[in-house]
Structure 1
Amino acid sequence: MAATCAVATAQAHDLRHHGDAEVIDAGTDLVDLAVNVRADTPPQWLRQRIAASLGDLAAYPDGRAARAAVARRHGLPVERVLLTAGAAEAFVLIARALGALRPVVVHPQFTEPEAALRDAGHRVERVVLRAADGFRLDPAAVPEEADLVVVGNPTNPTSVLHPAAALAALARPGRILVVDEAFMDAVPGEREALAGRMDLPGLVVLRSLTKTWGLAGLRIGYVLAEPEVIAKLAAAQPLWPVSTPALVAAEACVAPAALAEAEEAARRIAVDRAHLVAGLAEFDEVTVMGAAQGPFVLIRVAGGAEVRSRLRTLGFAVRRGDTFPGLDDSWLRLAVRDRATTGRLLQALDHALTLTTR
């Protein structure tokens, strides 16, 4: 399987564009298919837990209980856990604290890791996976000399779930392997996850609690890594980086009952995704990329920019693809929603495609 490897500049893509930009200041109510946060979240029980923590705001945050809860959830020593203000903070810490000399980012993927590395003064090399290969990763495409490698699993925006063995093949002494598992809890059984592994040198796994639990505004995630790496990242954090409500949410979301709820949600997402993919397959103009395994689907359609604009006029916000290295404006990312919402989307898409091809 072939892949391309090239040094590219940040100017070619807007690395700071994220899905929320599709709905902020829209001037009208749009059905949000651009942001990958699960709909109808956070659940009421989690809202209540967070609200109950507000009485403790006079005290400085104490992350020990939440850190221990995350460690228990993954069967790890607490020294291998760092709580962060979302995965985005973790990318900044990695860029600033680990001293990489030849960082490589596997694209298409979430652009914040590369943006953080560039902001920290790094010259970033891209391994760009090809649509012709289903955006699957060939470990041999990553330069042997890379001392920091970043890859998503399942990958945003392609929704590809890379085999754990393929990712593990990238680990070696002297290299930091960052695997962004922000959407792994949306995969039934979390198959292909590396979180909890202690046998891979230099492995750094990032998790986010904002997607499945609807906590993007609260900012909570965590890093799993060797104690020496955790210590370096922690030293780069400001004091009290995670708020008390976020710590309470972290502890709640890794409890056994919450994990069972997340698993149920992941299985429901898989069913809803299959329904969406089947509906998209009815359009000759639309190509669904690969076997999607995340809570979103990547599609390719001629005149994608115009289709996206027409969908907005019809009440639907979808994520543009051209800000991801390796994609152009023919690509769109659609969040998986319930069947009723998908039905309305497919009707709107039919109308948008009709108008585009006139």
Structure 2
Amino acid sequence: MRAEPEGSMHDLRHHGDAEVRDDGSALVDLAVNVRSGTPPAWLREHIAGSMAGLAAYPDGRAARAAVAARHGLPVERVLLTAGAAEAFVLLARALKVRRPVVVHPQFTEPEAALRDAGHTVDRVLLREEDGFRLDPDAVPEAADLVVIGNPTNPTSVLHPAADIARLARSGRTLVVDEAFLDAVPGEREALAGRTDVPGLVVLRSLTKTWGLAGLRIGYVLAGSETIELLTRAQPLWPVSTPALAAAEACVGPRALAEAAEAARRVATDRSRLLTGLGEFADRGVRAVEGAEGPFVLLRLPHAAAVRERLRARGFAVRRGDTFPGLDQRWLRVAVRDRGTTDAFLEALGRALDGG
């Protein structure tokens, strides 16, 4: 694990959707981590029902209260946002920080937002030989803002909550991106809802599990003073009425039960994918061990060429070289159902053969 100053050849603005949009053909999407087959019919109907109120300005009070209740927090500790990406922009613009540090490899929008706001960003790079796992002592003591994902995109590593909490200290804001935590059975290692960690800011997204990337809805959990700062940086009515309806529905008992079942299916499907990938170990394919998210990170020979061959066979996977700390040897693959996984593994075998 090492620290690295700002400056990079990595394309921080590249995201998985570009892997699909850049090709006019119909590709099986293994590049985007949104759960397939979503949003469910009941959620689509609920969102559609909110359309009758579009003439009125959005009123987020009910959705905010629902999110607060879901995590056992007062509403003053909740801010609704247009996806987690907006939250990163608000944090970068509203917080007065001198030395922000982003723990990589991880989702690149936090660093991009900080740079756009004029900050110089230091990096802590987690190492492959350590399994991309966090050593809290590697984060510079002088850092007054630390950003980390859990489980981390793209490594799928789930860091112990105790290790992340060790990063907290007086005068430091600790931002934990839990966009994929609801895909972990039992939401193990969650910090959402904790009020005993100083400076803690937790981000959640409802776009991944519920297939709402096009609607843009997420939220921030933090101390009331931080929420007030972020609120003042937001434009008026930042979250639409349909998105508010979705937020309220997705934190209700029915949705939480469905999400828990989906997380168990993801774990089963991920196990099948990892077992199949293990059959290619003698050909240089290696998956990062201990994956806990709805995606896996692979290192393999000639990854860029294999990615193009997979496209020719109808499968889009996420290139890994745009993530700081990774290079052209890496690909990220979303977890899908058994049939899709088996078809992908067959295509991967042929792509490794060069055909």
Q: TM-score range by the shorter chain?
A: over 0.9
Alignment TM-score, normalising by the size of structure 1: 0.98
Rounded Cα–Cα distance in structure 2 between residues aligned with 1:102 and 1:8 = 11
2:156–2:294 CA contact under 8 A, matched in 1: yes
Cα deviation, 1:176-226, whole Å, max 9, x if unaligned, reads 000000000000000000000001110000000000000000000000000
| Cα distance in structure 2, aligned partners of 1:229 and 1:124 | 21
Equivalent residues in 2 for 1:1-358, closer than 5 Å = 3-10=1-8, 12-283=9-280, 284=282, 285-355=284-354
Provide the C-alpha distance between the structure 2 equivalents of 1:171 and 1:77, rounded to a whole number of angstroms: 22
The Cα offsets for residues 127-179 of structure 1, whole Å up to 9 and x where unpaired, read as: 00000000000000000010000000000000000000000000111000000
How many residues end up aligned between the 2 structures? 353
Question: Structure 2 counterpart of 1:293, which letter?
Answer: E
Counterpart amino acid of residue 33 in structure 1: L
- 2:6 touches 2:120 (CA, 8 Å); kept in 1? no
Amino acid at match of 1:7: P
Gaps of 5+ in 2: none
CA distance in 2, matches of 1:256, 1:176: 31
Secondary structure of the equivalent of 1:341?
helix
How far is the alpha carbon of 1:8 from its aligned partner? 3.1
User: d(CA) in 2 for partners of 1:6 and 1:241?
Assistant: 35
- CA distance in 1 between partners of 2:93 and 2:250 (Å): 29
C-alpha distance in 2 between matches for 1:241 and 1:64? 13
Matched residues, percent identical?
Answer: 75
SS class of match (1:306) = helix
Query: 1: CA distance between counterparts of 2:22 and 2:346?
Result: 25
**RMSD (CA atoms):** 0.6
Letter in 1 for 2:213: A
1:241-272 deviations in whole A, cap 9, x for unaligned?
00000000000000011001000000000000
Q: Give 3-state SS (helix, strand or coil) of 1:205's partner.
A: strand
**CA separation in 1, counterparts of 2:312 and 2:61?**
48
Separation in 2 of the partners of 1:291 and 1:165? 18
1:354 counterpart letter in structure 2: D
Q: CA deviation at 1:25?
A: 3.7
One-letter identity of the residue aligned with 2:94:
A
Aligned-pair CA distance for 1:99:
1.1
CA distance in 2, matches of 1:168, 1:260: 28
Amino acid at match of 2:4: A
* Counterpart amino acid of residue 344 in structure 2: L
In 1, distance between residues paired with 2:289 and 2:230?
35
Q: Distance in 2 between matches of 1:133 and 1:290?
A: 10
Stretches of structure 1 that go unaligned for 5 or more consecutive residues are none
Offset of residue 5 of structure 1:
0.7
Query: d(CA) in 2 for partners of 1:9 and 1:74?
Result: 38
Q: CA deviation at 1:28?
A: 0.3
In the alignment, the residues of structure 2 paired with residue 16 and residue 104 of structure 1 have an alpha-carbon distance, to the nearest angstrom, of 18
The residue matched to 1:47 in structure 2 has which SS?
A: helix
Hey, what's the Cα distance between the residues in 1 that align with 2:4 and 2:130? 17
CA distance in 1 between partners of 2:257 and 2:240 (Å):
25
